[in-house]
């Protein structure tokens, strides 16, 4: 679409802009996805960035919903596409990690880190946010929705900076050889310790109440 290449096209004819069927379904799928994340995070593993995750999901749901009501559809689809460009790489890295393909996981993670930093620390603030902050003022005076939408964008950007710091730490440890595999910086030490204990217990056989079950072929001694 023209507004993908020329950001001034985002506001051409605003507020009267027609909605394409593809835009409608993109919004419905994205909104459903983030609602599912908000509901599932309560039962997921509690990590260091739990609060940040909740804030991110709530802010994203508010942004998607508000951009729908204010007819910021073109800007909204660009923002969602920009976020999705790195998310699928992260999910792919997780899948290969679970499958035991560590080298593939590590390589995809490095690509993800580069795409994340370029899209969310460069393109989003210097292109997309410039489009939502500067260009609308050339067409109409600012209103409440203008300030609210851009405030929520700033909230997202602060979260991106926080996660970029964690991602860079993870990538630095891997590249410099301090870690053989990419480790999640969001995990608590206790969580890692528990995982290692479970893995060790799995090697030694079944456990009961945290202790290995005695082999029936050996006589139990006091």
pLDDT in tens, 122-137: 999 999 999 999 999 9
Kindly list the domain boundaries of the chain, sorted by start residue. Answer: 18-176
As a whole number, the mean pLDDT across the chain is 82
Strands (E), the chain: 207-208, 211-212
pLDDT band at 195 (very low <50, low <70, confident <90, very high): very low
Q: What integer pLDDT is reported at residue 142 of this predicted model?
A: 87
Alpha carbon distance 155, 176 (integer Å): 32
Residue in this structure with the two tokens 């599912």, named with its chain if needed: 36
pTM of the model: 0.75
Tens of pLDDT, residue by residue over 32-78, are 999 999 888 878 777 777 888 888 899 999 999 999 999 999 999 99
Contact between 49 and 162 (Cβ < 8 Å)? yes
Residue recorded with tokens 């005076």? 141
Ranges assigned E (strand) in 19-158: none
pLDDT in tens, 101-119: 988 998 899 999 999 999 9
Closest to 88 in 3D by CA, of 106, 112, 105: 112
Give dist(CA 112, CA 118) in Å, integer: 10
Residue range 15-38: average pLDDT?
93
Mean pLDDT of 200-208: 45
Please tell me the predicted confidence (pLDDT) of residue 130.
94
**174 pLDDT tier (thresholds 50, 70, 90):** confident
pLDDT at 157 over 90: yes
Is the backbone of residue 6 left (phi > 0), alpha (psi -120 to 50) or beta? beta
Q: Which tokens sit at 42? A: 């309560």
What pLDDT was estimated at residue 205? 46
> What is the mean pLDDT of the segment spanning 86-99?
91
Please tell me the predicted confidence (pLDDT) of residue 41.
85
CA 205 and chain centroid, separation: 37
Write down the pLDDT at residue 51.
85
Provide φ and ψ at 142, rounded to 5°: -65, 145
Residue 185: per-residue pLDDT: 54
CA distance 81 to 85: 6
């Amino acid at each position: 679409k023209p507004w993908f290449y020329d950001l001034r096209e985002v506001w051409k004819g605003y507020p009267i802009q027609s909605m394409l069927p593809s835009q409608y379904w993109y919004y419905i799928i994205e909104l459903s996805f983030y609602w599912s994340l908000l509901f599932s995070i309560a039962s997921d593993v509690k990590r260091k960035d739990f609060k940040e995750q909740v804030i991110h999901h709530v802010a994203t749901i508010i942004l998607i919903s508000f951009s729908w009501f204010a007819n910021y559809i073109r800007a909204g689809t660009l923002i969602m596409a920009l976020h999705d460009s790195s998310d699928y790489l992260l999910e792919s890295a997780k899948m290969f990690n679970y499958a035991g393909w560590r080298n593939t996981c590590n390589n995809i993670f490095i690509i993800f880190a580069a795409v994340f930093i370029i899209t969310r620390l460069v393109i989003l603030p210097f292109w997309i946010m410039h489009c939502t902050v500067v260009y609308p003022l050339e067409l109409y005076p600012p209103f409440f929705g203008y300030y609210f939408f851009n405030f929520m964008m700033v909230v997202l950007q602060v979260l991106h900076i926080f996660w970029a710091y964690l991602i860079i730490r993870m990538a630095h440890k891997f590249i410099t050889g301090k870690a053989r595999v990419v480790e999640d910086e969001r995990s608590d030490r206790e969580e890692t310790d528990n995982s290692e204990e479970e893995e060790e217990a799995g090697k030694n056989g079944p456990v009961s109440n945290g202790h290995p079950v005695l082999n029936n072929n050996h006589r139990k001694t006091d």
